[in-house]
């Protein structure tokens, strides 16, 4: 019995120990579970926080996306508008190109452009979109009543918006009642050299906030308008100057034509006068020469030696005078077209040869070498042979006159722009530069020692020029003092 009790107690003790152990294990597990629950709650809280951040980020991203979309469509609208503005050079058309569609694409529906008229000291409306006539008038008068405020903005080159404007710039009531907007942007238009102004752009919507991006866009638009205005005004100035120039050229041309007509008339009168005087001189000259010749024969009686000398002088001077009169007559007759050139094809070398034959004696006498640098058949020219012969005689004659002994005269020819250019060069004293323009005038002679010694009329080159011009050619001279002279002239090919 006692043993049975002890066993029972032992079993009970064992059970208690077992239960206690079990309880302890359970308690430990419960604690562990509690800890795990705590951690789970923490991570749930964490996740909740992160979810909130994600939602916030998403909202922010959407807003940025919206803003970006707005900016892109604004930039697109601005690009279209800029293109359209830059396509015109007419001031009024620039502002007409600001259309309601463009403004709408920029996110606004009202727009005004005012320019400053310096002379009148007032702003004048250039264009308005989204306003009635009476509203425009009201805005204009409000603006001119507060012009200092607006001029200050232009001067400071500041872009303002309903958000960034200083207090008291436009109060809310004015904005509603006069400008009929809730939000606006105002940007100065500043062409470099002309009257400035500004663009006002606004909206009646209450949900459209004006952003910094909008301000930037309108600033760019105002700059483009300024540039277009500058270009248009420059173009107008250029155009006006061009027209003025054309008018002036027209007037001057008329004046010159009239003057030329007058010169022609005077020239004709001069030619007629020279021609008639020469004619009238010829008859008495012939008589003088005739009487002198008869007296010199002695048929009318013996002539004392002294008288004979004087008669010889009369005879010589009559010849010289006759020569002058004939040359003058020739010049005036060629000039007035009374002498027509009988043009025929000639071998240039042949024409020069004839002159060489005529002058060979004098050339030998003066020990001057004449070099002809062209062969027969090299050049065929369409000329009046007698007249061009006179040209060569005069030019070679002058070259001989102004070239010292042992000098050289050379004649060459070449093709030049479909014509034949002939050059007659010498190694003579040369012609001073200031005399080059005058030597083709009648009676002009350079004042030098040779001219003082050798007689001349100053008519040779005038005659040569008339003959070349009657052949539709040109004559000019190049000369270096002390080295020599080249006379060049052109003839038509034969």
* Site residues, ligand ADP (CB under 6 A): 394, 398-399, 402, 426, 428-429, 431, 439, 444-446, 451, 456-462, 485
Rounded to a whole number of angstroms, the minimum distance from the CB of residue 468 to ligand ADP is 13
Query: Can you tell me the distance from the alpha carbon of 97 to that of 319, in angstroms, rounded to the nearest whole number?
Result: 88
C-alpha torsion angle, residues 157, 160, 166, 170 (rounded to 10): 110
Closer residue to ligand ADP, CB minimum distance, 82 or 485: 485
Closest separation in Å from C-beta 369 to ligand ADP: 15
Query: Cα(15)–Cα(12) distance, rounded to whole angstroms?
Result: 5
- Closer residue to ligand ADP, CB minimum distance, 227 or 485: 485
C-alpha span between 52 and 244 (Å, rounded):
75
Minimum CB separation of residue 243 from ligand ADP in Å reads: 47
CB of 379 closer than 8 Å to CB of 420: yes
In angstroms, give the least distance from the CB of 390 to ligand ADP: 12
Structural contact between residues 466 and 335, judged by C-beta atoms closer than 8 angstroms: yes
Neighbours of 488 (CB within 10 A): 18
Nearer to ligand ADP, 191 or 428 (CB): 428
Q: Could you say which DSSP state residue 165 is in?
A: S
Report the residue number, 460 or 473, with the smaller CB distance to ligand ADP. Answer: 460
Q: Which residue has the tokens 């259309």?
A: 99
Closer Cβ to ligand ADP, 210 or 399, answer by number = 399
Q: What's the closest the beta carbon of residue 245 comes to ligand ADP, in angstroms?
A: 41
Least distance in angstroms from the C-beta of 305 to ligand ADP = 33
User: Residue 236 and residue 85: Cα distance in Å, rounded?
Assistant: 16
Q: Which is nearer to ligand ADP, 113 or 467 (CB)?
A: 467
Helices assigned H by DSSP within 336-456 = 348-365, 385-401, 449-453
Q: Which residue has the tokens 């020569």?
A: 323
**Residue with smaller CB distance to ligand ADP, 202 or 460:** 460
Dist CA 61 CA 67 (whole Å): 10
Smallest distance, Å, CB 441 to ligand ADP?
A: 8
- The secondary structure element, H or E, covering residue 61 is helix 2-86
Q: Assess contact for 208 and 181: CB atoms under 8 A.
A: no
The full DSSP string for 90-115 is: -HHHHHHT--HHHHHHTT-SEEEEEE
When the beta carbons of 94 and 467 are compared against ligand ADP, the nearer one is 467
Using a 10 angstrom Cβ sphere, with 0-12 exposed, 13-18 middle and 19 or more buried, the burial of residue 483 is exposed
Rounded to a whole number of angstroms, the minimum distance from the CB of residue 393 to ligand ADP is 11
């Amino acid at each position: 019995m006692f043993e049975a009790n002890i066993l029972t107690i032992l079993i009970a003790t064992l059970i208690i120990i077992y239960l206690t152990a079990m309880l302890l294990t359970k308690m430990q597990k419960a604690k562990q579970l509690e800890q795990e629950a705590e951690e789970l709650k923490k991570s749930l809280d964490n996740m909740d926080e992160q979810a909130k951040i994600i939602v916030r980020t998403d909202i922010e991203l959407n807003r940025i996306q919206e803003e970006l979309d707005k900016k892109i469509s604004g930039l697109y609208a601005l690009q279209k508008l800029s293109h359209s503005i830059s396509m015109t050079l007419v001031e009024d058309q620039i502002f007409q190109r600001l259309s309601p569609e463009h403004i709408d694409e920029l996110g606004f529906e009202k727009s005004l452009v005012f320019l400053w008229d310096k002379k009148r000291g007032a702003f004048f409306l250039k264009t308005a979109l989204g306003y009635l006539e009476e509203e425009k008038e009201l805005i204009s008068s409000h603006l001119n009543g507060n012009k200092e405020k607006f001029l200050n903005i232009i001067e400071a080159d500041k872009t303002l918006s309903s958000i960034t404007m200083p207090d008291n710039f436009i109060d809310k009531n004015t904005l509603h009642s006069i400008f009929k907007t809730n939000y606006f942007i105002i940007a100065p238009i500043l062409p470099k050299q002309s009257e400035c102004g500004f663009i006002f752009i606004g909206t009646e919507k209450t949900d459209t906030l004006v952003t910094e991006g909008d301000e930037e866009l309108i600033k760019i638009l105002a700059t483009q308008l300024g540039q277009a205005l500058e270009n248009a005004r420059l173009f107008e100035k250029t155009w006006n100057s061009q027209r003025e120039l054309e008018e002036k050229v027209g007037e001057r041309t008329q004046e010159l034509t009239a003057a030329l007509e007058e010169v022609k008339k005077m020239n004709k009168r001069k030619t007629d006068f020279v021609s008639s005087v020469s004619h009238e001189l010829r008859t008495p000259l012939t008589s003088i020469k005739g009487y002198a010749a008869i007296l010199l024969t002695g048929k009318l009686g013996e002539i004392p030696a002294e008288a004979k000398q004087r008669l010889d002088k009369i005879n010589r001077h009559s010849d010289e005078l006759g020569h002058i009169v004939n040359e003058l007559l020739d010049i005036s007759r060629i000039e007035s077209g009374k002498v027509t050139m009988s043009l025929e094809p000639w071998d240039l070398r042949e024409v020069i040869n004839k002159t060489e034959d005529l002058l060979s004696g004098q050339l030998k006498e003066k020990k001057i070498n004449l070099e002809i640098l062209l062969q027969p058949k090299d050049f065929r020219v369409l000329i009046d042979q007698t007249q061009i012969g006179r040209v060569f005689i005069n030019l070679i004659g002058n070259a001989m006159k102004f070239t010292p002994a042992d000098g050289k005269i050379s004649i060459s020819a070449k093709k030049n722009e479909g014509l034949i250019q002939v050059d007659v060069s010498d190694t003579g004293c040369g012609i001073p530069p200031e005399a080059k323009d005058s030597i083709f005038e009648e009676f002009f002679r350079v004042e030098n020692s040779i001219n003082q010694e050798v007689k001349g009329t100053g008519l040779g080159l005038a005659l040569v020029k008339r003959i070349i011009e009657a052949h539709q050619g040109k004559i000019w001279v190049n000369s270096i003092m002390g080295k020599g002279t080249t006379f060049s002239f052109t003839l038509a090919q034969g």
